[in-house]
Amino acid sequence: MSVALQTLLASALILLEKVLLILLAELVLKCTSKSNIKLHISMEDCIWKTRYGRDAFPLEQFHWSIRWSLFKVGHLCALHTFSSHEDNRKWFQPECTGVGSDGQVGPSPRAFHIAIAIDSHMFIFGGRSGSKRLGDFWVLDTAKDIWQWSELTSFGDLPSPRDFVAASAIGNRKIVMYGGWDGKRWLSDVYILDTISLEWMELPVSGALPPPRCGHTATMIEKRLLVYGGRGEIVN
């Protein structure tokens, strides 16, 4: 298979990934109404509002999670999880504990943040609350029955507060983050976060640099970060 064809297929998979995660429950419901497959999805304890600016990610083997969303003029702070196990397909809101500097459980309500899952941990960075860009850093430990939030203090080359940024896990320890919007300009910086030492490092980059952007995707494919789409200044 040629390199060009591999890149094209990877781009298509990235676009499909986000759509499929969000529409998972609806697709299953349609299957049950049009076939003889007997499935049960419980949504009675988890009534959703229309939302956007959310993030979805796979968590462990049989769960998908959807984190904060922007709803009309306000922000939601609701963690919804879909269990796709064949014996217990349902949406639910897990019980969480752990307060931050504001005394509230978990991060403040926000939209357009990043949410990256590594093993049983979900890492949250940035986003927007109203017109304010955020730069705080959180982790959610989902290993136990009651999920635990922790506000993290990191060091090194700390990234500026931003939203519409894209990030991807590198193996089971590091996260790479690219671009975003800080309220004044589109960004093109690249950061690596070590989730064990909590050290940020800004990477020097060279070559044919992509234009600064936000609202894009960034996906690790083997040892390369594939960046696609987004919004930024048009360069002729």
236 inside domain? no
The whole-number pLDDT of residue 62 equals 45
Q: Is residue 63 predicted with pLDDT exceeding 80?
A: no
Q: In the chain, what percentage of residues exceed pLDDT 90?
A: 41
Q: How far is CA 186 from CA 127, 132, 139, 210, 232, in A?
A: 14, 16, 26, 12, 6
178 inside domain? yes
Where residue 127 sits, what CATH number does that domain have? 2.120.10.80
What pLDDT, in 10s, does the model give residues 173-202? 999 999 999 999 999 999 999 999 999 999
The whole-number pLDDT of residue 76 equals 47
The whole-number pLDDT of residue 38 equals 40
39 inside domain? yes
The whole-number pLDDT of residue 64 equals 53
56 inside domain? yes
77 inside domain? yes
What pLDDT, in 10s, does the model give residues 64-81? 555 544 433 344 456 767
Residue 186 vs residue 209, higher pLDDT: 186
What pLDDT, in 10s, does the model give residues 87-116? 667 777 778 888 877 788 888 888 899 999
Number of domains in the chain: 1
Domain containing residue 186: 3-228
Q: Give the pLDDT band (50/70/90) at residue 61.
A: very low
The whole-number pLDDT of residue 120 equals 87
Of 41-50, 137-146, 149-158, 220-229, least confident by mean pLDDT is 41-50
Residues 6+ apart with CB under 8 A from 50: 71
How far apart CA 84 and CA 27 sit, in angstroms, is: 12
Residue 126 vs residue 31, higher pLDDT: 126
Q: Which of 156, 141, 168, 165 is nearest to 214 (CA)?
A: 165
Q: In the chain, what percentage of residues exceed pLDDT 70?
A: 63
Residues 6+ apart with CB under 8 A from 200: 154, 155, 156, 157, 158, 159, 191, 192, 193
The whole-number pLDDT of residue 47 equals 45
235 inside domain? no
